[in-house]
Structure 1
């Protein structure tokens, strides 16, 4: 066995800490960037921030439900309301109505096991905090809880919630109670003929029962959840004047970044302190450079979007054209991953609402005439087509795919229709079917 020395030359690509941080900075929203800048001020003594008097005046309501098309409402004068904890309110009422300690303990146990919609979540892992409550106690507690809150509070599931409302408020409607108790799954699946057959009633009676059940509240205790209005600040603001679109970044409120002049004397000194100051000075320069690079990248991307998606800014999502990250990257001569990071977590405000910037990028579907159409436009067509269908004989996904192919010239599979329908939260054809009374 021979021992020897060998010299080998290799070329490796290493990501420096600065490069990694620059990539991370690119993905920040303007609000996140502000928080990051303030963190850097605490870590780097050379960084001195100068506050701007101007604060962001462009705000949009951020509703709890997810909506792909946003809203044009701009509540600049809205004030968030902080409400008292609803559970605490229920417990206060319990102390007033039931002075005995055992009943108060039982109600306290139940109230703190309610979910955000007022449903009672009990299982074998639920802690009783050392209190022994059997099923009879729980049932008694639920009845007492009904007197404190709306009918349906304390229900274990949707069926019990609806039954409680019928029993307390409509005790004479026994058919509705029977339908909910025994055939709630058939209602969900809209199997009207099967319901009529099993209950031996006419289709007209089925419709009347269904209409009545729809008047009940499936979440009568939604006040338990936090529905307070939340806000977002857009990162890019697009405005129109004389049919000309302009934009600006909504970052004017960010604090100005300056160097603390008290440390400038240490930059050229030759001691241990100067090494530390020089390192922090490089970090300070890197921060300024990265923020400017982020800003320029976003500006380049939005310039392309205004040009490529001009019809969208005029007419909305129905005019959105197919556009990929790579196509924009090629125009601005950057890598696709850079465009992807720069458009992440960004909100763009347009004359008709605020949206996630990534919604302006959409892949394409081929048409029979050799052109292409965006996925977003196809979804809008799908939504419109289903809205106009015969509700007694709704179209299947296969029928819709055939319609798009023959009438619109858009080649699309049944599976893709199903995927788009689910993304739009549109139920399947048998769940869209309404009761037809002859």
Structure 2
């Protein structure tokens, strides 16, 4: 094989460090950007945060308009010159509340579950930001706090602590008592001279199951519901109580299907008793430990804010409190310029600091351009709601903003806009579409809202099937197949008509 030496010319795209940094900052969320800047300041002494004496003010006229539209739930007598920080405080609260809304959760049986213990009250919005600073209480901490004041033998206390740590995130004890005790058996023998007896294990479990919230320590869903029903025995009619026990023990599948006739036959009680029992079961909590999950995101900082101008047109502006106040230390900068030699390490840090400031400004300019384009297209959404959402894809926004689709994708990911209807991620405004009889298109989001409204108004004894809804869409000029309706319905976590039907 002969070896040759030759020259070849070619073109390739090289990402400069400045461009790489620009792309990195663009795809970060506001919280991630703040963390990145704090890390950069530690590495580069030329950069520092500005010390602002007061947060920027919102224009009085825009503030009054946003209050009328429902963005502000505070007292109308509150001063119109409140700071931007207070406005952002409310935006965060709206997002927190909207993120807690759920439909057809927990096997679509319990539509009215107990409120989460981590939910923040709307009655005192002034304390909202302070509440966010407090770490959420975990299930283990909540149960340990109830165990602490109890006067128990050390052996029994140790066993209950082991049970508490063996619970899963829903508060269930999935393992058998013997399996939980096995790893600690030698320790019990060493400390107390004997291992736990069956009676000791059972008593510890029963004591744990008496803790708040009720249902903790159950082995499965049926056991969890049974524990809660037994605690309400004195409040229930005798027949309703026994019907509840029978249903949660043997008929959960029929309960999930809302099959009242089947439940009546299986339990031997009349339909009236079964309906009353079903209503009682609906008020129980199928996952008592879920409200203590500490991985729940409590706050979202909007990058932009939608507001209505004097001419009645919706527009977008940056949320100034989300824009980092970064500057270059001028004393260091002047000293570096006076140094001899252009290629010194401090000179490189000064250049990197300038790049950082430029890239941050470019990041927020791009976010504002994309947000403004979305607002321009979705004017009806801000006036009417999700039902008026227009079809929109990344390609359309990229063409309007003269950007690449990948850039728009980075901008809309983990970037939020505050609106009178709540705080939404920018990519929420993008979605699929279906055609209409006139040759137009209808947004998938609008279709979902219509499906949700129809199902909310349907007769429980004769619910709408997917084909029924497909036919109803045809009457208003929207061509949509039955399987497409089923896809949107499932995306909304709404069960089929056969399950929703009361029998």
TM-score normalized with structure 1 length: 0.86
- Pair 1:94–1:315, CA change in 2 (3 A): closer
Counterpart contact for 2:156–2:200, Cα < 8 Å? no
Cα-to-partner distance string for 1:102-159 (whole Å, 9 max, x where unaligned): 2111111112223444322436985865245566543322212244435422112210
- The equivalent residue for 1:434 is 502
Once residues 222 and 345 of structure 1 are traced to their aligned partners in structure 2, the CA distance between those partners, rounded to angstroms, is: 25
- Pair 1:423–1:12, CA change in 2 (3 A): same
Once residues 361 and 23 of structure 2 are traced to their aligned partners in structure 1, the CA distance between those partners, rounded to angstroms, is: 13
- The equivalent residue for 2:184 is 130
- Pair 1:286–1:68, CA change in 2 (3 A): farther
Q: Which residues of 2 match residues 35-50 of structure 1 at below 5 A?
A: 35-50=35-50
Cα-to-partner distance string for 1:369-417 (whole Å, 9 max, x where unaligned): 1111111111111111111222112122233223322x12222223322
**Which piece of structure 1 moves more, 40-49 or 57-66?**
57-66
Once residues 421 and 34 of structure 1 are traced to their aligned partners in structure 2, the CA distance between those partners, rounded to angstroms, is: 39
- The equivalent residue for 2:250 is 182
Deviation at 1:23, TM superposition (A): 0.9
- The equivalent residue for 2:232 is 169
Counterpart contact for 1:50–1:258, Cα < 8 Å? no
- Pair 1:3–1:89, CA change in 2 (3 A): closer
Indicate yes or no: 2:369 matched with 1:319.
no
**Which piece of structure 1 moves more, 199-208 or 79-88?**
79-88
Indicate yes or no: 2:167 matched with 1:118.
no
Once residues 339 and 411 of structure 2 are traced to their aligned partners in structure 1, the CA distance between those partners, rounded to angstroms, is: 39
Higher helix fraction: Structure 1 or Structure 2?
2
- Pair 1:194–1:4, CA change in 2 (3 A): same
- The equivalent residue for 1:258 is 328
Q: Which residues of 2 match residues 329-368 of structure 1 at below 5 A?
A: 329-368=398-437
Deviation at 1:65, TM superposition (A): 4.3
Once residues 135 and 235 of structure 1 are traced to their aligned partners in structure 2, the CA distance between those partners, rounded to angstroms, is: 58
Deviation at 1:342, TM superposition (A): 1.5
Once residues 102 and 28 of structure 2 are traced to their aligned partners in structure 1, the CA distance between those partners, rounded to angstroms, is: 21
Counterpart contact for 1:150–1:221, Cα < 8 Å? yes
Counterpart contact for 2:315–2:372, Cα < 8 Å? no
SS at match of 1:231: coil
- Pair 1:341–1:67, CA change in 2 (3 A): farther
Deviation at 1:274, TM superposition (A): 4.1
**Which piece of structure 1 moves more, 117-126 or 303-312?**
117-126
TM-score normalized with structure 2 length: 0.76
Counterpart contact for 2:371–2:426, Cα < 8 Å? no
- Pair 1:86–1:197, CA change in 2 (3 A): closer
SS at match of 2:45: coil
Indicate yes or no: 2:335 matched with 1:284.
no
Once residues 338 and 223 of structure 2 are traced to their aligned partners in structure 1, the CA distance between those partners, rounded to angstroms, is: 77
Counterpart contact for 1:142–1:154, Cα < 8 Å? yes
Once residues 106 and 226 of structure 1 are traced to their aligned partners in structure 2, the CA distance between those partners, rounded to angstroms, is: 25
- Pair 1:223–1:5, CA change in 2 (3 A): closer
Once residues 18 and 127 of structure 1 are traced to their aligned partners in structure 2, the CA distance between those partners, rounded to angstroms, is: 58
- The equivalent residue for 1:208 is 276
Out of 119, 125, 131, the residue aligned to residue 75 of structure 1 is 125
Deviation at 1:303, TM superposition (A): 2.7
SS at match of 2:251: helix
Once residues 146 and 49 of structure 2 are traced to their aligned partners in structure 1, the CA distance between those partners, rounded to angstroms, is: 51
Counterpart contact for 1:80–1:228, Cα < 8 Å? no
Counterpart contact for 1:344–1:358, Cα < 8 Å? yes
Once residues 290 and 68 of structure 1 are traced to their aligned partners in structure 2, the CA distance between those partners, rounded to angstroms, is: 39
- The equivalent residue for 2:28 is 28
| Gapped regions of structure 1 (runs ≥ 5) | none
SS at match of 1:334: coil
- Pair 1:104–1:23, CA change in 2 (3 A): same
Once residues 433 and 135 of structure 1 are traced to their aligned partners in structure 2, the CA distance between those partners, rounded to angstroms, is: 45
Once residues 5 and 89 of structure 1 are traced to their aligned partners in structure 2, the CA distance between those partners, rounded to angstroms, is: 74
Count of equivalent residues: 430
Indicate yes or no: 2:308 matched with 1:240.
yes
**Which piece of structure 1 moves more, 17-26 or 47-56?**
47-56
